[in-house]
Amino acid sequence: MAKKQFKAESKRLLDMMINSIYTHKEIFLREIISNSSDALDKLCYKSITDGKTGISREDLYIKVTIDKENRIIKVSDNGIGMTAEELEKNLGTIAKSGSLQFKTDMEKQEDIDIIGQFGVGFYSAFMVAEKVTVITKAFGEEQAYCWESDGADGYTITETGKDGHGTDIYMKIKEDGEDEKYSEYLEIFMLRSLIKKYSDYIRYPIKMDIEKSRKVEKPDSDKPEYEKYIEEETVNSMVPLWQRSKDEVSDEDLNGFYKDKFFDMKDPALTIRADVEGAFSYKALLFVPENTPMGYYTKEYRKGLELYSSGVMIMDNCEDLIPEHFRFVKGVVDSQDLSLNISREMLQHDRQLTAIRNNIEKKIKQELKKLLNNDPEKYEKFWQSFGLQLKYGIVADYGAHRELLKDLILYHSSNEKKLVTLQRYVELMPEQQKYIYYACGETVAKIDNLPQTEPLKDKGYSILYMTDEVDEFVINMLGEIDGKQFKSINDKDLGIETEEEKSDIEAKQEENQVMLDYLRDSLDGKVATVRLSNKLKSHPVCLTTDGEVSLEMEKYFATIPGDHPDVKAQRVLEINPTHKAFYMLQDTWQLDKDRCAKLGKLLYNQALLIADISIENPAEYTDLFWELI
């Protein structure tokens, strides 16, 4: 039979496997066993849901045997097996699941310790084997098939015979080289310790034939004699990590489990264990990744937890268990109260599941809050990765989750010069400060330069700097914190002026009303109002808005593609009545109205520059400037 070639990407991965450094090689057994365990899960699930397979969970097992003489390790399972098509699809190509991510990461960082960290699957067998033979019979099929490959030159698939369903993997172990020794994998104690190390929690028995010796009674001799015999033994403890008590499981175990199962190279930022007994009982092992997963903020990302019922996996990605705002959380949930043959549709309306979901939500919130209080630095890291998700969570579903999430939100405080919670901001407010002040912009540095921040800074009031598009929607949704309302630094009335200051500015406004209206009109609809303001100290002008729509919102809506009405902010040009620019306007107004309008235009453009909005015609602006000085 003609050999088929591996797909290109598989070949590359294979090359890497074969040439991987020595210490990594031992993980091949974990990978092969984990595939067997999945195959048993699939059959188990099928027998539960179909009901008539005649298979019970107790019959399922994995067996590892060694043929030292022929240098073969055999891993067998009586799981679901594979049809010829599945063999072709599953073992002929590799760009799937974690492997793909693995490959792309690999291209970015050549020297990283990936193989040691990742689940790299079936192909890892080629790290230790010169030839791999897979004999498999799918459950319910008559025909068995043999897949065979030496790694380098592709593979063959032929028909063969096999008793019963399931899969046998034969790995012909390489000869020892000068630096690399493979023979140790043919030792029982070695394989046994590898199973203990990597696969102890597999929920099916992993059996091995262990050589033992026993004393033989010989009445006519004083010396005890021993004889050897073989006994089949289950090597793994079969208790999954989440079923074990806290002190039995090390952080290393948990981190390893997470990285292996969820294809991450880094330890999780946070590990959450839940063990709930009561009206409904469940155990959960949850993880918050350290970095935002690739494609996290896209439709491709799938949230969900693995769902088990008394150790039997019933769903590999149960979306209903995790609320949208915590969709970055990965993990497993095991509940003895869930019915095994439940369908996806039924799960959605399952009361137990809803109770577990609510409980998990509460637990995640608690643990994040704990992290925030106990290790703010670590929390900030989490915030960099998933803060945006929490902000979206506040805005989503008409604010239904805002109470849950509002104390997890951080913003940069101008006084503290670091991220603070909203509660912390309110705590630090001087007694006479009435509002929570905020300012939006592209970066903290740019916002800090806005002229409107000056009067608040002078008073010693802190301002929250906001740099995400969603921030103003968050503020609108929250409305207030501990009775204090939010106020934009662009607001007409910042609530810091005395009555006297207010009437002063009103009087000045009235005196200059004709000129200010003239300036507005000569700006040709670019601004809705030109007014004098108390907001400015050292700068001549600033751009603010009246009404609901802010400049940031206008920028945001302009970026949304598609047909929608223009959302425009009502722009206001504010002029500093104590600045020499204003005196110049006044003087010019008396002498030359046309020139005064040009000065107005100059000031408007400068207000745009200060607000970090590009000016329409920079060349014209430049010429105007030189004409006027």
The residue range among 74-82, 394-402, 457-465, 562-570 that interacts with ligand ADP, by the rule CB under 6 A, is 74-82
Residues 6+ apart with CB under 8 A from 331: 272, 284, 285, 286, 287, 305, 306
Binding to ligand ADP (CB under 6 A): which residues in 600-629? Answer: none
Beta carbon of residue 35, minimum distance to ligand ADP (angstroms, whole number)? 3
Residue closer to ligand ADP (CB basis): 136 or 533:
136
Q: Tell me which residues in 552-611 interact with ligand ADP (CB under 6 A).
A: none
CB 264 within 8 A of CB 292: no
The bridge status of strand 570-575 relative to strand 529-532 is parallel
Q: Which is nearer to ligand ADP, 82 or 314 (CB)?
A: 82
Contacts of 584 (CB under 8 A, 6+ apart): 599
Reference 99, options 110, 112, 114, 89; nearest CA is 114
Residues 90, 281, 359, 476: which binds ligand ADP (CB under 6 A)? 90
CA 557 to chain centre: 26
Q: Please report whether residue 240 would count as binding ligand ADP according to CB under 6 A.
A: no
Distances in Å between the Cα of 489 and the Cα atoms of 439, 496, 536, 584 are 6, 11, 11, 27
Q: How far is the CB of 333 from ligand ADP (least distance, A)?
A: 21
Annotate each residue in 3-32 with x if it binds ligand ADP (CB under 6 A) or - if it does not, as one string.
Answer: ----------------------------x-
Residue 36 near ligand ADP by CB under 6 A: yes
Query: What is the smallest separation between the CB atom of 19 and ligand ADP, expressed in angstroms?
Result: 18
Closest CA to 363 of 245, 272, 280, 244: 272
Q: Toward ligand ADP, which CB reaches closer, 31 or 552?
A: 31
Least separation in angstroms between CB 249 and ligand ADP: 24
Cα 463 from chain centroid? Answer: 30
> Could you tell me how many residues of this chain bind ligand ADP (CB under 6 A)?
19
Distance CA 122, CA 125 (A): 6
Is residue 121 near ligand ADP by the rule CB under 6 A? yes
Q: How far apart are CA 548 and CA 558, in angstroms?
A: 16
**What's the closest the beta carbon of residue 37 comes to ligand ADP, in angstroms?**
9
The three-class DSSP label of residue 205 is coil
Applying CB under 6 A, does 168 fall inside the site for ligand ADP? Answer: no
Q: How far is the CB of 485 from ligand ADP (least distance, A)?
A: 52
Among the listed ranges 53-61, 78-86, 452-460, 551-559, the one in contact with ligand ADP (CB under 6 A) is 78-86
Rama region for 151: left / alpha / beta (φ>0; ψ in -120 to 50; rest): left
In the complex, minimum distance from the CB of residue 80 to ligand ADP, in angstroms, rounded to a whole number:
6
Site for ligand ADP in 340-379 (CB under 6 A): none
d(CA 491, CA 50): 65
Residue nearest to ligand ADP (CB): 121
| Full strand arrangement of the beta sheet holding 570-575 | 529-532, 570-575, 541-546
φ, ψ of residue 528 to 5 degrees: the values are -85, -30
CB of 46 vs ligand ADP, minimal distance in Å: 12
Applying the rule CB under 6 A, the residues between 280 and 339 that interact with ligand ADP are none
Nearer to ligand ADP, 6 or 382 (CB): 6
Tell me which amino acid residue 226 is. Answer: Y
Closest separation between CB of residue 32 and ligand ADP, Å? 7
What is the closest distance, in whole angstroms, from the C-beta atom of residue 395 to ligand ADP in the complex? 36
- Which is closer to ligand ADP, CB of 92 or CB of 376? 92
Pick the closer one to ligand ADP by CB: 123 or 435: 123
Q: Which is nearer to ligand ADP, 61 or 122 (CB)?
A: 122
Among 13, 14, 39, 463, binds ligand ADP (CB under 6 A): 39
The Cα–Cα gap between 316 and 304 comes to 8
What is the C-alpha separation between 393 and 473, in angstroms, rounded? 11
Figure out which of the listed residues 28, 45, 122, 326 binds ligand ADP, where binding follows CB under 6 A: 122
| DSSP alpha helix (H) spans, 236-312 | 251-262
- Closest residue by Cα to residue 45 from 346, 307, 262, 322: 307
CB of 114 to ligand ADP, least distance (A): 14
CA proximity to 517, closest of 598, 576, 625, 597: 597
Tell whether residue 96 is a contact of ligand ADP (CB under 6 A): yes
- CB of 36 or CB of 453, closer to ligand ADP: 36
Using the rule CB under 6 A, is 77 a contact of ligand ADP?
Answer: yes
Which residue, 94 or 322, is less far from ligand ADP as judged by CB?
94
Q: Are 406 and 478 in contact (CB under 8 A)?
A: yes
Contact residue for ligand ADP among 45, 79, 257, 539 (CB under 6 A)? 79
Q: Could you say which residues in the range 475-534 bind ligand ADP, by CB under 6 A? A: none
Tell the residue number behind the tokens 């009561």, with chain if given. 278
User: Interface with ligand ADP by CB under 6 A: which range of 33-41, 237-245, 450-458, 593-601?
Assistant: 33-41
167 touches ligand ADP (CB under 6 A):
yes
Q: What would the 3-class secondary structure string for 535-600 be?
A: CCCCCCEEEEEECCCCHHHHHHHHHCCCCCCCCCCEEEEEECCCCHHHHHHHHHHHHCHHHHHHHH
Q: Which residues bind ligand ADP (CB under 6 A)?
A: 31, 35-36, 39, 77, 79-82, 90-91, 94, 96-98, 121-123, 167
